[in-house]
């Protein structure tokens, strides 16, 4: 696990450092910098996701929905829900007797997600909350399922966030973490590196006129814990029966844990 | 493999729902089944599929971790037959097909799919406009009516030729007369059998 880092000699011991992509920044600055990235990309987030993944992100999310075990009447929290891809499906699954909360720390992403869902008629059982994954503003034992898709790597204190998710889950509830991870083949890893550090920033430049945000995306993926590390973090936080499924050769992994 | 299956299911789901939207009432009827889950367990090749109907159409899934309402176990051939057959209840009652749980849900779903009335002309009119779509629809309907009439005429002529001209097959009326004779013969034999039994009982010395 790479964060939080201990303060270096000469640094303010009250404000330790962490990473922002490959850069080292003060912990207090990271959330602000991540927010800047998402404010910048929010309007074209869906388009960029489709372009970057060739549409495969829809299949990763589809598999996440299947493994969630969510059914009618359940209460679901979709953290870092962004433009609401998972929330839309959960809203359908839980039906009028259930509830889905789309939470995102970034106001721009939340606004895009809310507008998109309301415009497509998803309403009634969905609520929108601007919330920090590390300090979830919900009661203990409240949700049947919690998901965080492509959000955990942007969180400053991942272990705190995982503990917070455990707290709000009901006993027997599931946490699903869908996140970029480490490719299982070295050949794929090399091709993926070449793609991430050349094509991704170029696409970002062409579509959103912001190559830096997509350079951060590539770097933040490399700094994110690999499959086994994230699994051990979930076990350490108190989750039971933690398993993960590699997808697209490990480019993305879906971790699942049950609250005992 | 997981993603290939997901891609196949997503493609099938999109196609099926596009077709379902062409029917005016199918989605409303499917909405009444919302929250129910049908598990289709295909044997040879082994494949498990979950169907979740709701007002948006049918959702297909390879995994479903919650309880299912109805289970349908059948070989692939029977499932294909079920999808294509007009009389789906006949296929459901065949010995290779096993049903478990709430079979009413399965029968309702089969009935919705069986009674689809697809408005292709509306779909075409979205692309070509109402007038060309109507002309095309009228031409297609005329063509299909002609093809139907021709096929029926061919069937009747062929039956007539095989039974009356070439005498390769027995004619229907001739066969029915023979079947009636056979039925009569069977009844007479049964009566004779009963009479013999009665006479045997009469002449048999009392025990």
B61 touches chain A (CB under 8 A): yes
Nearest CA in chain B to A66: B63
Query: The whole model's pTM is what?
Result: 0.73
pLDDT exceeds 70 at position A1 = no
Confidence at residue A7, expressed as pLDDT on a 0 to 100 scale: 42
Distance from C-alpha of A100 to C-alpha of A145, rounded to nearest angstrom: 10
Q: Which of A92, A95, A245 faces B2 most closely, judged by CB atoms?
A: A245
DSSP state of A235: H
The pLDDT profile of chain B, 207 residues, written as one tens digit per residue, is: 678 888 999 999 999 898 888 887 888 999 889 888 999 998 877 889 999 998 889 999 998 888 889 999 988 888 888 877 777 777 878 888 888 888 888 888 888 887 777 777 777 888 888 888 888 888 998 999 999 999 999 999 998 898 888 888 888 888 899 999 999 999 999 999 999 999 999 887 665
**A191 phi and psi, to 5 degrees?**
-65, -40
Query: Which domains, from first to last, does chain A contain?
Result: 41-183+219-258 (3.40.50.150)
Confidence at residue A2, expressed as pLDDT on a 0 to 100 scale: 40
Q: B64 and A245 in contact by Cβ < 8 A? A: no
How far does CA A60 lie from the centroid of its chain? Answer: 13
Nearest CA in chain B to A62: B6
Confidence at residue A218, expressed as pLDDT on a 0 to 100 scale: 78
Which residues are within 8 A (CB) of B58 and not within 5 positions of it... i.e. 6 or more apart? B13, B16, B17, B20, B30, B51, B52
| Residue ranges of the binding site of A for S-adenosyl-L-methionine | 83, 104, 132-133
Query: Which domains, from first to last, does chain B contain?
Result: 2-114 (3.30.1050.10), 122-203 (no CATH)
Nearest CA in chain B to A72: B35
B48 touches chain A (CB under 8 A): no
Which residues are within 8 A (CB) of B26 and not within 5 positions of it... i.e. 6 or more apart? B20, B112, B113, B116
* Whether ipTM exceeds 0.90: no
- Give the torsion through C-alpha atoms of A54, A59, A62, A64, to 10 deg: -100
Q: pLDDT band at A236, cuts 50/70/90?
A: very high
Residue A249: which region, alpha, beta or left (left: phi > 0; alpha: psi -120 to 50)?
A: left
DSSP state of A141: T
pLDDT in tens, A113-159: 999 999 999 989 999 999 999 999 999 999 999 999 998 988 889 99
């Amino acid at each position: 696990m790479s964060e939080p880092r201990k303060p270096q000699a000469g640094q303010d011991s009250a404000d330790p450092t962490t990473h922002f992509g490959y850069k080292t920044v003060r912990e207090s600055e990271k959330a602000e910098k991540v927010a800047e990235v998402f404010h910048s990309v929010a309007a074209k987030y869906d388009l960029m996701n489709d372009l970057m993944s060739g549409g495969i992100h829809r299949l990763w999310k589809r598999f996440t929905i299947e493994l969630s075990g969510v059914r009618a009447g359940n209460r679901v929290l979709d953290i870092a829900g962004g433009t609401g891809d998972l929330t839309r499906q959960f809203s359908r699954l839980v039906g009028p007797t259930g509830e889905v909360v789309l939470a995102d720390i970034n106001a721009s992403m939340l606004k895009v997600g809310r507008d998109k869902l309301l415009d497509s008629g998803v309403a009634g059982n969905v609520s929108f909350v601007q919330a920090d994954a590390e300090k979830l503003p919900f009661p203990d034992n409240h949700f049947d399922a919690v998901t965080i898709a492509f959000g955990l790597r942007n969180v400053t204190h991942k272990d705190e966030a995982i503990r917070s998710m455990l707290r709000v889950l009901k006993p027997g509830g599931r946490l699903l973490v869908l996140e970029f991870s480490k490719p299982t083949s070295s050949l794929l890893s090399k091709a993926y590196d070449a793609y991430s550090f050349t094509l991704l920033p170029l696409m970002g430049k062409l579509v959103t006129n912001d190559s830096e945000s997509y350079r951060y995306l590539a770097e933040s993926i490399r700094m994110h814990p690999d499959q086994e590390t994230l699994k051990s973090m979930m076990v350490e936080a108190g989750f039971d029966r933690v398993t993960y499924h590699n997808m697209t050769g490990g480019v993305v992994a879906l971790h699942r844990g049950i609250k005992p | 493999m997981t993603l290939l299956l997901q891609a196949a299911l997503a493609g099938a789901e999109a196609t099926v729902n596009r077709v379902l939207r062409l029917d005016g009432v199918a989605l409303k009827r499917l909405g009444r089944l919302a929250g129910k889950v049908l598990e289709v367990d295909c044997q040879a090749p082994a494949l498990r599929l979950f169907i979740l109907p709701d007002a948006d159409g049918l959702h297909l899934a390879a995994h479903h971790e919650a309880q299912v309402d109805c289970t349908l176990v059948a070989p692939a051939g029977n499932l294909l037959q079920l999808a294509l057959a007009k009389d789906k209840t006949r296929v459901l009652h065949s010995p290779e097909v096993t049903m478990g749980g709430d079979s009413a849900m399965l029968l309702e779903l089969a009935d919705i799919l069986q009674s689809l009335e697809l408005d292709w002309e509306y779909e075409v009119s979205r692309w070509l406009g109402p007038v060309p779509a109507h002309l095309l629809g009228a031409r297609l309907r005329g063509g299909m009516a002609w093809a139907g009439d021709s096929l029926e005429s061919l069937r009747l002529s062929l039956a007539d030729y095989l039974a009356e001209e070439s005498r390769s097959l027995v004619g229907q009326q001739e066969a029915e007369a023979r079947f009636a004779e056979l039925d009569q013969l069977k009844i007479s034999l049964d009566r004779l059998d009963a009479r013999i039994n009665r006479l045997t009982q009469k002449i048999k010395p009392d025990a």
